Amino acid sequence: MDILLNSLNTAIFTLICAGAAMHRRRDLHVKIMMIAFALDIGLLLAVEFSNAAIAAALRTVSDSSSDARILTWVHVTFAVGGLVMWFAQIVVGRKILKQGRTELLPKHVLNARIFLVLRLGNVVTAWMIFAA
């Protein structure tokens, strides 16, 4: 099951990258990113319900070797940061799209770069946990 969830996580990250690459075609960019958001939230719920991920992470942090503990903390940091950035990007993106607030574009671009780094970190650390 973990290989399936990690593969889906990687596929969603690929979709996010495709959506980011379509930033000049705003209508397509928004559609791709909203689909990626829905899939990402769905994956988060699937991981939690299938693995009790939060409880497992807490167990790992309290019971495991320092390497596993550090990797889990890093993964959780990337995951939570990515989730927070999803909402930040949606709020700023809606203001740009619906209100014509183009002065927010530089902020949206900077946030996108941070978001992509966080999501990449999430994908990489998820595979590292799987391989451990």
Residue 118's identity, in one-letter code, is: L
Measure CA of the first residue to CA of the last residue in the chain; give whole Å: 15
Is the pTM of the predicted complex or chain greater than 0.75? yes
- The tens-digit pLDDT sequence of the chain (132 residues) is 688 989 999 999 999 999 999 999 999 999 999 999 999 999 988 887 776 666 666 666 666 667 778 888 899 899 999 999 999 999 999 999 999 999 999 999 999 999 999 999 999 999 998 887
Burial 30-65 (b: 16+ CB within 10 A, else e): bebbeebbebbeebeeebeeeeebeeebeebeeeee
For the chain, count helices (H), then strands (E): 5, 0
